[in-house]
Chain A
Amino acid sequence: MSHYVDVTTEIKDEKALVKALGRLGYQGMVEVYDHAVNLYGYRGDMRSQKANVVLRRKNLSSASNDIGFERMSDGRYRAHISEYDESIGYNEQWRNKLYTYYGVEKAKMDCKARGYKYVEDVDEKQRPRLRVSF
């Protein structure tokens, strides 16, 4: 039997999120906290927003604020990105790319945990693709 199905990704796995940030160039720069911590602004001012997965402003641009992902009560992560950082490229397109890589990394982790081998490549439309053997 064979089938097709479309799945809608939900950002719920901290490790996969960190790996996805790594693929965007932030490997080894991401801080992870069990309890959410405050984010800081470009002048070193503490912000009211909290996050469990944090990309500090020193790793972004000189005028950037921290970027964070806060774990909500339903287990999903919500992004905290300032208007300034949105304007310099950490926008919806950046988040979509991040979340796409999240899906790839989450799928790879789940396949690996079950001992399935996979190959990652891109299809003819340059979309990431995983071929998993059973």
Chain B
Amino acid sequence: MPEMILTFEWDGKTVHKQTKGFKGSSCVKETKFIEEGLGKAGDRKLKAEYYIREQEKDQNRTRA
């Protein structure tokens, strides 16, 4: 099941957001409301599985 984990630092401003289990690029779209609601998001770090999926997409495009 797709999940978002938010961890709150005690400095009163830093929130770590982690997502997992989402298909495709939906995780950014479906969880962006949290960033917009809390404040300003920093740089996004994509997990390895993102690149694997994107690579698979490229291969499928080449075959088609």
Contact = CB atoms under 8 A, between A and B. Distances in A.
B55 to A, nearest CB: 12
A123 interface: yes
A22 to B, nearest CB: 16
Interface residues of B, number: 47
A111 B17 CA distance: 14
Contacts of A109: 37
A105 B7 CA distance: 13
A98 B12 contact: yes
A100 interface: yes
Most buried by A among B19, B20, B49: B19
B46 A1 contact: yes
A129 B8 contact: yes
Interface in B9-32: 9-28, 30-31
Binding site of A, secondary structure by majority: helix, strand, loop or mixed?
Answer: mixed
Nearest to A20: B12
Nearest to A12: B39
Contacts of B30: 134
Interface size class of A (residues with CB under 8 A): 35 or more
Contact of B2 (A3, A8, A123, A133): A133
Interface in A45-87: none
A3 B19 contact: yes
A29 interface: no
A72 to B, nearest CB: 15
B37 A110 contact: yes
B7 A123 contact: yes
A91 to B, nearest CB: 12
Interface string A86-126: 00000000011111101110110111001000000001000
Interface of A: 1-10, 12-13, 95-100, 102-104, 106-107, 109-111, 114, 123, 127-134
Interface of B: 1-28, 30-31, 33-35, 37-47, 49-50, 53
